[in-house]
Amino acid sequence: MILYLLGVLVIAVGIAVSIALHEVGHLVPAKRFGVKVPQYMVGFGPTLWSTRRGETEYGLKAVPLGGYVRMIGMFPPRAQDGGRLRRATSNPFHQMVEQARQDSLDEVGPGEEHRVFYRLPVWQRLVVMAGGPVMNLLICTALITLILTVHGVGNNTSTVSAVAECANTDVSDADCAGQPPSPAREAGLQVGDTIVSVDGTAVADWSGTTYAIQNAGEQAVFVIERDGERRSLTADLVMRERPLMNADGTLQLDGAGDPVWGQAGFLGASPTFVYEPQPVSAVPGVVGEMFTGTARIILTLPQRMVDVAQAAFGTEERDVDGPMSVVGVGRVAGEVASEGVLGVADTVAERFWIVLSLIASLNMALFVFNLIPLLPLDGGHIAGALWEGLKKAWARVRGLPVPGPVDTAKALPVAYAVAVGLLGMTALLIYADIVKPISLG
């Protein structure tokens, strides 16, 4: 229980720090470019603690599910036609926009007109709004670098950690009376032996060993290293219907994405699992794979939410690669810290390295999700600034008057709809994480 709670605490602190640094990514460039920032807050709801430094109030709020940096003048004033303000309207959406615009302008005090956000050059607005997601990307990259270079990547080596007693793997070794010995046991393979080659094919890890055994037929010659000496052992393999492997250790898949089954040799030996530190040059590839994997999840989010609903209210199982709420992430972190993952994290230290990787994955999710080009997400402001930049560049090319700022306030109805959708999605995920949780154990 102590380890479980410690895992939940670590992930909670990791999320809070990630959110806080995300907002710092907005705060620092905004102040650097002269924008007045009245508030920097981590969380939503009632304020638990705050302090004022200069013109900015820094604080923590009761619901730690996000944060914000309040900058004055986020929305430009209403455009004019021929020197006259556009006609007022009774449309509730228009009134909503006008109220938000007025609230934004009311924050601008005398002499602060030059410190509003909407007056920044396009490139500075891009820096301010991209600063938050980029901070999450930097956190993810820093954690992945630490994990890869210090802890390493788990790998099944070609050193034998266990040898099965019998050839029938459908029963335990304790129940295999009357069964023939396993090919590994009969050939004389022992715990601690390192398999060097299979039928003349050199192997460097267990993936290569498995692939070589799969293609060896009914008999294979193993060169092993034991006590610093090399020996040759001949094993009569047991042929079984098994999922076929590729040379890199991945499963062979058919056109539908299902495993391909076929006759393959069974040896009856288990590998030794170790963590091997990686060079810094491996970091970009791993971070890139995390980005593409997370982007695929975001792009298919509507269908994945349907799957979550079907699992929560039906009999389907949750997808371990699907979305989770902070409740689900905390639960997984607790289970990992107390129980490990699939038996590969035997020590407490190894388990907390996995929890650290969860925090890295969360930051990658924050990076990708916040780039969605919809308000109130950062990507919505980034899209508005890019559109304004394109319009101004086109006007310059055609020799036309340079247009004013893009009126992002007009997108507020969409922003409110997105916010309601995000609240509904969060509620569904929290419910699913309670009644049908994802477990990595």
Q: What is the pLDDT of residues 300-339, one digit of tens each?
A: 989 999 999 999 998 888 888 888 888 888 888 888 888 7
What single-letter amino acid sits at 272?
T
Q: Inter-axis angle of helices 2-32 and 326-339, to 10 degrees?
A: 130
Residues 161, 166, 169, 171, CA torsion sign = negative
**For residue 80, is pLDDT > 60?**
no
Q: What are phi and psi of 393, to 5 degrees?
A: -65, -40
The 10s digit of each residue's pLDDT in 369-425 is 999 999 889 999 999 999 999 999 999 999 888 888 888 878 888 888 998 999 999
**pLDDT at position 89, please?**
54
**pLDDT at position 238, please?**
87
Domain boundaries along the sequence of the chain = 154-276
CA gyration radius, the chain: 29
- 23 catalytic residue (yes or no): yes
- Cβ–Cβ contacts within 10 Å for residue 417, how many? 12
- Give the whole-angstrom CA distance, residue 35 versus residue 24: 14
Contact present, 346 and 390 (Cβ < 8 Å): no
Mean pLDDT estimate for the chain: 87
In CATH, which superfamily holds the domain spanning 154-276? PDZ domain (2.30.42.10)
Residue with tokens 């089954």: 261
Indicate the range of 30-34, 182-186, 286-290 predicted with least confidence.
182-186
**pLDDT at position 202, please?**
92
**pLDDT at position 281, please?**
95
The percentage of the chain sitting over the pLDDT mark of 90, rounded to a whole number, equals 47
**For residue 134, is pLDDT > 90?**
yes
- Give the whole-angstrom CA distance, residue 140 versus residue 201: 39
**Across residues 91-99, what is the average pLDDT?**
70
**pLDDT at position 150, please?**
94
**Strand, helix or coil for residue 269:** strand
**pLDDT at position 84, please?**
42
- Give the whole-angstrom CA distance, residue 133 versus residue 24: 10
- Give the whole-angstrom CA distance, residue 367 versus residue 140: 9
